[in-house]
Structure 1
């Protein structure tokens, strides 16, 4: 039987999970990544729901636990920094998950576990795709044209390759929410809690501990027309300073910290919804296929799950024929879509409800938080973190035979 060849475009969590499992299933896997080197750092991500089972199957749960940010819970504060309501880590999937880790740390754990025959080429990307029923020809920026049995697009929310292949089958739901992320210096008063402050004008500030002696900060504001991510970096920083002037609590600290931080980036939250996850010999996974945004939550968990489920259904096909691969892609989509749809179905009024404009709105929100933090209601409130859950069992993956190990299933 001929060995299938796959090209994975994008070397973050979704791409790495797919590469890990496809290679275990006997595929020859090549990865390309536009960045010139491995991208370290990033903000907090978490492993929730059935993604923990995937992590266990990978044999990486202990490594992830050793790299967690050590966050102890989520505390909502007022303009004076006084705690309005606190939600400690009490289970695996509360507001602060049991497994909180920096994106770069999670990616490094997976990349170090990849089989040695998985090749990653940095500083290259796809210019043109010729999609056929039984193969795909890919023209790369570096000049080569290569042929694969399957192209897997894991490039993230702004994937150009996805847009080229799928066109109007990609829809975007802009949530009107700007978020700026960055790393700032840790101060004496900082602890191991995620502290979250809501100000008038639809503004929020949050500070999260990490495991590197710094603080991961976030500034968010609701504005349907103002997209800072579309502006030049320095202009976006300048406008952010104006928008958060007088917000209160740690506004000055974060703005001043962002002025010298080397990793500030802006996002204008947008859900990605696709009518199909595959076409011919091309498929999509991760945020490129179903970005749920931080509002929906569980993006990293869905990325881990998607890589496993895709590889599992492809491994179950008993033929090398293109129709067999197509069948595996259909099964992958059928399994993933209910979970994705649930994550993208936001409560009515979201995100406006959580970004009040007036003092009355902020006060009302604080009252609800205070009530929700009481013991009898805390478990109910923690369900906001119950994402990446499903009653479906993970499909069986057929592991490739090696010279020393018989074929096995997980």
Structure 2
């Protein structure tokens, strides 16, 4: 049994409760109690107790949408327009997979250092299965299906099943096989149907990129625009057409537990349809700025009862996989919101709400929750009256990270 305490304990409940000089008792991977540190020491005298002054203790962070397989990119891919970026991915992706295992391991280590305990990893090729399954992270491993050529559907589905089987072989209390449909513009209706049915049959979480660009919206509705030339240029198919409208794609996912990533160009009826499906929407603001020069309309999400949930996406469209960086950027990307109140919403978006999206039992300081905890050293935090804002502005890396009650990272300076 252990008691961990800090100047500020962020409970990350809906009220964003904060306990001054608070602490958490945990054992066997679960939170047993929480209160002031001194109260817990008196109540559990047998526990090993450690208090960290000028620090914040909170649930470990959760990154629900990340691409470890693109960890080699730095300056290879082109930014500024989604179409230009996608062209560069097709033309240069092979070079991005050289010496990839070292890069994936580097970013797993960086993920832990930034206080992240759980991830939703999109696996397009299976290169990340082994390193993630052997890491301390909690993982939903989204084996991705992609392909618009109807003649290749059986082969593509067989490849997906092989990767899913490999994920099954590595499954554990921390590593969960899941499925992904890349997007409605890139995945034929028949293949998407097969994946959706498989996810329902096996009760697997599903992740999809949805309406990330104006190009995708035009293609799904009119089979015109950028993707007309894209399929001709890269796949020799000048007669390609969309097999699904946006609403038809969503209807196909009826009964699935699904995460919808980006949704930049989804109108209110489509967002309401996602909400009616029980779906969660994941935003990646830095990626959205680089590829589409747009941000998700958070007011529309709130109007239909959907919370803000943040992710980093991959290094294919970002400069780091740190949620701390994502939090800071997002705080400045939405000047219409009060910094102090918005900071609380953002912290919940990488703790409570992101854990709920991934189906994990963490993200909140509450009895019975997983003991996934992160500790951050922030000079002067004990005197702050804007604790969430101070946390976002000044946190650079975790001081300690616990996953399932085990210390998996410590910054020993």
Asked if Structure 1 and Structure 2 have the same fold, meaning a TM-score greater than 0.5 normalized by the shorter chain, the answer is no
Question: What TM-score range do you get, normalising by the shorter chain?
Answer: under 0.3
> TM-score when scaled to structure 1?
0.26
Q: TM-score, normalised by structure 2?
A: 0.25
Higher helix proportion (structure 1 or 2)? 2
